[in-house]
Amino acid sequence: MSIRAAKKQGKYVGICGQGPSDHEDFAAWLMEEGIDSLSLNPDTVVQTWLSLAELNK
């Protein structure tokens, strides 16, 4: 809810941390909520991007 509320106010929303790298379901949820950016560990970038792209089709 916080992401959507912030977006309605015209705010940029991003997240840093380990969560999206370790849990693809969390990254997917963040994307569904409308997050603008998230940080990922270098070794998870490609797999996470591919996973999120598949959900976004």
- Report whether 40 contacts 51 (CB < 8 A): no
**Count of the separate structural domains present in the chain:** 1
Confidence grade of residue 46 (pLDDT, cut at 50, 70, 90)? very high
Q: Which residues contact 4 (CB under 8 A, 6 or more apart)?
A: 33, 34
The pLDDT score that the predictor gives to residue 24 is 93
Buried b (16+ CB within 10 A) or exposed e, 25-37: ebbbebbeeebee
The model's confidence at residue 41, banded by pLDDT at 50, 70 and 90, is very high
Tell me the pLDDT band of 57, cut-offs 50, 70 and 90.
confident
pLDDT of residue 56: 81
pLDDT score of 1 more than 80: no
Range of the domain at 49: 2-55
